[in-house]
Each structure stands twice: as C-alpha cells, then as structure tokens.
Chain A
Amino acid sequence: MSDIKKQKIFVDKVIDNIPADKNEQKPIELYKELVQHRFFEVISNANPIFYSLIKKKRLKKIITKFIQSGAKTDFIWKLPSEFRTFVKKNKELFPNMDYIDDLLWFEWIEIKLFMKDYSSFKRSKFDSSYLYDISKSAKIKRLSYKVYEQEFKIKGEYCVLSYFDLKIKEVIYREISPFMYEFLKLISKFSIKNAILKISRKYKLEPKELKEILIQPLKELCTLGVLVRKG
C-alpha cells in the first residue's frame, strides 16, 4: 500500500469517515479530540453569541460535519469565514435559527475588520464636491434580524454599520436607518450631489433640505474613517 493511501485511511479515521480498528482506537480518539478541539476553540471564540445559543454537544456534532466538509484555509483565523459558508450550505443543521446568516456575518465582520492592516490608511475631509466610497475599515449590511442586540425573533429590515475605530483600536457597530444604508450604497456609485438627487427623487424629498440634513452625518463618517475619498 502506498504512503498516500495509508495517510488517507488514517485521516479518514481521524475525521470520522471510517471507524478505527479496535487496537488503534485510543490514539485515533486522541487525534480526533485534538482536531475537534482546534476547530471548536476557533469557532466558539470567534462566535461568542452563536456559541451562547447552542449546546456544546450540538456544536461539536456540527463541527465534526464541518471538518468532514473540508476546511481549506492555511490561516486558522480565517476559519470562521469558511464556517459561515458551511452553514449557508447546510441550513438543515440549524432548524429554528433563521437569523444564523446575519449573526455569523456580524461576528465574522468584527474579526475581519480587526485583522486588516491600516498602516497606510488615511482619513478624508468631507467636501461635497468629491467622490467618496466606504473605506476598507468599514462595512454596511442590511439584516433581517437585530442580531447586534441579540434579538432573534422579530424579523424586519435592520441596517448596521461596523467599522474599525483607529483611535480606540476596536471594532464598533451602530444601527443606521435603511435610508442611510441606501444613501451610503449610492455614494459608492455616484457623486454626493447625484446620490442626493437620486434618493430625494425616490423618497420625494427636497434635495437642498436633504443635503443640509446629510452634511453633518457625512462629515462624521469621514472623521471616523468610514467614508474615504475615491481615487
């Protein structure tokens, strides 16, 4: 038998695809535990809210299936992102957890923003004549559940802004209105002026008044590094 075949049989035993022989059960069990522990530690630490909602035994079973599905990343801190993908493809494992995609996004985005390199990051001053985009230190998302407030029952339309605060070096989130969410999406594509025109038409608002209302929040988002000048 080739080395590769021997390795494959061993790995299959460790990840529970095939049973171990009786005389090798102890070491195989140990390897199973070591692998399981590594995954469990990363997933439970990265997803503290999710972990608080699920029994340890159940999470272990889910993680066994996740291990069998094949994690790819060489960098273990990225494992929660792969876990999100696994969850999306295996919804039957999460009955009565309709909020799970929202929750895992919310928990993963904190890690993702935390792990980015902001060495060359520069804040922009606000000037309505410039083009802006949402910076790499921030993400906005429309959610169906207020997972950031650990509210998992009332379905609706909830928008959240998560950003890395360079002063306090922490990831902060805040709820934003669906209107603001839509506007921030628009300014990634259009100038401030055109974005105001588009959204004012949609909501039947006066562009001049709208601009006056939006100027202060936009200035603040620039100060926070959430918005940066394009180009």
Chain B
Amino acid sequence: MARLKGCGLGLRREFIHEVIPSSFKPDFWEVTPENWINMPYHHKERFEQIVYENKTIAHGLSLSIGSDKRPSKKFLKTIKEFLDRYKIEDYSEHISFSNFNGSQTYELLPLPLTMSMVELLSNRVKYVEDFLGRSLILENATYYYVPDAKMSEVEFINELIHKSGVRLLLDVNNVYVNSVNHNYDARKFLSDLDTSSVAYMHLAGHFDDEDSGFLVDTHGMEVTKKVWDLYKYTLKKVKAPTMIERDNNVPSLDVMIKEYDKLKRIYRGA
C-alpha cells in the first residue's frame, strides 16, 4: 500500500457524480465510513470506481473513543469490513466522545483533560488497533467547554501520543478555532505540540457565531485567511499530507478544486 502523501479532498455525495467526468485526481481522497457503509445504490458504482482507482483514507465519526464504554465489536466489525473491502489502510477518528450510556448525540463532545483519560484512551487505542488490524490516527477536536482540566490541551495530546503511540491527525482549523475560543496562542500550541507523530493534516472552514461568542467548527465554508496563514506556519514545522474537509454547504466540485489547487500551491511551496 502506497504511503500517504501530497494533498487530498473529502469525497462527498454532493459532488460524487462530477468526479469521474472531471478527470480530477487529488493525491488522495478521504471518505467517512459511516456515510458510505450504506449508500444510495446509484452512488455505489462511482464510489467504488473512485476508491479502487485512487489512494483513499478513512475518517470516522462514530467511534466515540472516549465514551463510558469502549466501542462495540459490532461497530468495529462493520468499520473493519468497510476498510478491508476498499483496501483502506489509514483510518482516523477524533479525540472526543459522541455517545454516552449507549445514547448518541452525533456531536464531538469534549473529554476531561486528565491523566486518567489519557490512560483510558491509550487502552482504547490499543483495543481498536488490535481489532481493526491497522494503526489508528486521532484528530485534535474543537471544544467549547472542558468538563475538567488537570492539564492543557497540548499537554493532553502529547501525553496521549507518548502513552499510546497513536498518530495524530492535526486539524489546523481546530487549532485556530480553539485558540480563539480559549484565548491561547495557536503558534505556541504548535510549537509545544509533538509533531513527530503527525500522519496528516486537515483544513476546513468555521463559522463566527456572534450569538454564542464562539468560532464554531462547521466545515461549512471555505478555509479562512487566518487558517491558511496558520497552515503556512505549520508547514514550516511539519510538512505532512494535508486535505480539505467540507461537510456542510458542500459546493460543486469545481469550487472544491479551486480550494484544493490553492492548498496544493501552498503545500508545494513549503
């Protein structure tokens, strides 16, 4: 299996029919298993052609690795079958939880930043990796609240990396959003972060929600200038493969290609 490199784009149903006619080939596609394990039948042929003919990685939503209970075998089996079927080696998820006591919120919720949580996550990483037969990649998530903090976010992530050996999906937009919402220096965060384990990076848009007073990680608009600037800074520290995520207000493929081309220019120039 070829190593992940270059720049990628999230494959979305909204433009899947445009991909093959356009001849657009990013260095890799990222797919969300939960959105493709079951898919409308009319998407299936195109999806399979794209995934089989291109380097593809998976980015999940429902693992909920920090829950009160570890991920179910039923869920992991479904994910594994999907990854095996489409020969996907790289599988990423989030440092968060989305279900609790068996009930779903479908939202990435913040974890207590404690050593006991690092321990729990490290055990879960091993459990998931053993089950899936592949190493896990975890993303720094956005958060608007911390249930408890015995350490800073960056200390928590570094501890987790060292303790579990998990690779990091560094979401640069999330670093920016969190730095504004929690009033810290994003560059300092990146300087303090152990970037040796970064597997790849995410870029996405966010929304300035004046009502709540938070920047909200919506993935519903183009990447902002400040995030591009932070990405350029990040590239000086770690030149890892990078992709653009768009999950809401997904535009036509042409629009996404323009943003992808911008990413590619910056990435190549770094």
Show 13 A/B contacts (Cβ-Cβ < 8 Å), sorted by A. Answer: A6-B148, A7-B66, A8-B68, A10-B109, A11-B100, A27-B144, A30-B209, A30-B216, A31-B107, A31-B145, A35-B107, A115-B41, A169-B41
Q: Chain A nearest CB: distance from B66 CB in Å?
A: 8
Which residues 187-206 of A sit at the B interface, judged by CB distance below 8 A? none
Report whether A118 and B147 are in contact in the complex, using a CB–CB cutoff of 8 Å. Answer: no
Asked if A218 lies at the interface with its beta carbon under 8 angstroms from chain B, I say no
Asked if A29 lies at the interface with its beta carbon under 8 angstroms from chain B, I say yes
Q: Chain A nearest CB: distance from B72 CB in Å?
A: 8
Report whether B68 and A7 are in contact in the complex, using a CB–CB cutoff of 8 Å. Answer: yes
Report whether A75 and B37 are in contact in the complex, using a CB–CB cutoff of 8 Å. Answer: yes
Q: Which of B21-29, B112-120, B129-137, B157-165 makes up part of the contact surface?
A: B112-120
CA A70 – CA B104 in complex, angstroms? 7
B213 CB contact (under 8 Å) in A26, A28, A31: A26
CA A116 – CA B41 in complex, angstroms? 6
Asked if B191 lies at the interface with its beta carbon under 8 angstroms from chain A, I say no
Q: Chain A nearest CB: distance from B43 CB in Å?
A: 10
Taken residue by residue from 37 to 79, chain A's Cβ proximity to chain B (1 for < 8 Å, 0 otherwise) reads as 0110000000000000000000000000001001111111100
Asked if A222 lies at the interface with its beta carbon under 8 angstroms from chain B, I say no
Report whether B38 and A77 are in contact in the complex, using a CB–CB cutoff of 8 Å. Answer: yes
Report whether A115 and B44 are in contact in the complex, using a CB–CB cutoff of 8 Å. Answer: no
Report whether A4 and B68 are in contact in the complex, using a CB–CB cutoff of 8 Å. Answer: yes
Q: Chain A nearest CB: distance from B260 CB in Å?
A: 26
Contacts known (A28-B145, A30-B214); A114 close to B41, Cβ less than 8 A = yes
Report whether B145 and A27 are in contact in the complex, using a CB–CB cutoff of 8 Å. Answer: yes
Report whether B104 and A72 are in contact in the complex, using a CB–CB cutoff of 8 Å. Answer: yes
Asked if A145 lies at the interface with its beta carbon under 8 angstroms from chain B, I say no
Taken residue by residue from 68 to 95, chain B's Cβ proximity to chain A (1 for < 8 Å, 0 otherwise) reads as 1000000100100000000000000000
Which residues 93-131 of A sit at the B interface, judged by CB distance below 8 A? 114-119
Report whether A3 and B62 are in contact in the complex, using a CB–CB cutoff of 8 Å. Answer: no
Asked if A15 lies at the interface with its beta carbon under 8 angstroms from chain B, I say yes
| CB closest chain-B residue, reference A12 | B100
Binding site for B on A (CB under 8 A): 1-4, 6-11, 14-15, 24, 26-31, 33-35, 38-39, 67, 70-77, 114-119, 164, 166, 169
| CB closest chain-A residue, reference B115 | A3
The number of chain B residues with a CB under 8 A from chain A is 39
B104 CB contact (under 8 Å) in A28, A71, A116: A71
B44 proximity list for chain A (CB < 8 A): 117, 119
B148 proximity list for chain A (CB < 8 A): 1, 3, 6
A27 CB contact (under 8 Å) in B68, B114, B214: B214
Which residues 32-67 of B sit at the A interface, judged by CB distance below 8 A? 34, 37-42, 44, 62, 66
CA A52 – CA B63 in complex, angstroms? 34
Report whether B214 and A164 are in contact in the complex, using a CB–CB cutoff of 8 Å. Answer: no
B38 CB contact (under 8 Å) in A29, A71, A115: A115
Report whether A31 and B109 are in contact in the complex, using a CB–CB cutoff of 8 Å. Answer: yes
Asked if B212 lies at the interface with its beta carbon under 8 angstroms from chain A, I say yes
Q: Chain A nearest CB: distance from B69 CB in Å?
A: 10
A3 CB contact (under 8 Å) in B103, B104, B117, B144: B117
Report whether B144 and A70 are in contact in the complex, using a CB–CB cutoff of 8 Å. Answer: no
7 nearest A-B residue pairs (beta carbon): A70-B103, A27-B145, A169-B42, A74-B62, A6-B147, A27-B144, A30-B212
Q: Chain B nearest CB: distance from A184 CB in Å?
A: 23
| CB closest chain-B residue, reference A28 | B145
Q: Chain B nearest CB: distance from A169 CB in Å?
A: 4
CA A179 – CA B73 in complex, angstroms? 45
Contacts known (A14-B105, A26-B213); A164 close to B144, Cβ less than 8 A = no
Q: Chain B nearest CB: distance from A22 CB in Å?
A: 14
| CB closest chain-A residue, reference B66 | A7
Asked if B184 lies at the interface with its beta carbon under 8 angstroms from chain A, I say no
B97 CB contact (under 8 Å) in A2, A7, A34: A7
Q: Which of A70, A75, A115, A117 has the largest count of B CB atoms less than 10 A from its CB?
A: A75
Q: Chain A nearest CB: distance from B149 CB in Å?
A: 10
Q: Chain B nearest CB: distance from A72 CB in Å?
A: 6
B105 CB contact (under 8 Å) in A11, A30, A117: A11
Contacts known (A28-B145, A114-B41); A7 close to B100, Cβ less than 8 A = yes
Report whether B145 and A74 are in contact in the complex, using a CB–CB cutoff of 8 Å. Answer: no
